[in-house]
Every structure is written in structure tokens, then in C-alpha cells.
Amino acid sequence: MNFSSRWKKAIVKRLDIPQDTLLDVTRVTWIDNGELFIENYLGIQTFTSESIVLLLDEGEIRVEGVHLELKSVRKGELKITGRIQAVKRIEEEKGRWV
């Protein structure tokens, strides 16, 4: 982590503001069981109609469901539709699904 990142994290903590206002953290918005919006991801590792794995700065996110589709793919933004059953995160340093 560089100086700028540490400085921004300290400001967010001190001012008690949401992390996504200053930091490039991953934001996941899950609407009902049919739409999932993910911001600030690095890339798509795997994609099937039952599972999508996205690469993050510090780990991965796995989306599980039925009839999953990538509806909108833009730099750093993604919309997934289908019957979403689970969203799991694995942190790089811990090596386990959370």
C-alpha cells in the first residue's frame, strides 16, 4: 500500500465517511435476486451461466446462480442478471471464502 492510499484510508477513518467516497473500493449492489451491479473490479476470471468469478484489488468475488448473464460490461463496472443465489468474496491474504 502506497503513501497516498494510507493517507486516504486515514482520512476516511478520521472523518467517519463511507470508504467509496475517496477510495477505489469494490462496490456491490444487489437488487432483489435478479440484478447485481459491481463497480471497481479488475477483470473477469471465469464466466458460466452458473458462476462468475471477478478479480479485485485484494482478492476475488464469486457470483453463483442460475441463468447468469453479463448485461453491461464497462471499464470497472459490470451488471449481472439472472437468478442470483449467492455472492462470496475471497481475500487474497487469507485464502478463504468469506
- As given in the structure block, the three cell numbers for residue 20 are 467509496
Task: Determine contact, residues 59/92, Cβ cutoff 8 Å.
Answer: yes
User: In terms of CATH architecture, what is 24-97?
Assistant: Sandwich (2.60)
Nearest alpha-carbon partner for 42 in 30, 29, 28, 60: 60
The tens place of each residue's pLDDT in the chain, 98 residues long, gives 565 667 666 766 777 766 655 556 788 899 988 999 999 899 999 999 999 999 988 889 999 999 999 998 888 899 999 999 999 998 765 555 55
> Distance (Å, rounded) from C-alpha 96 to C-alpha 91?
7
pLDDT value, residue 33: 80
Using DSSP's 3-state secondary structure scheme, residue 18 falls into: coil
pTM across the whole model: 0.73
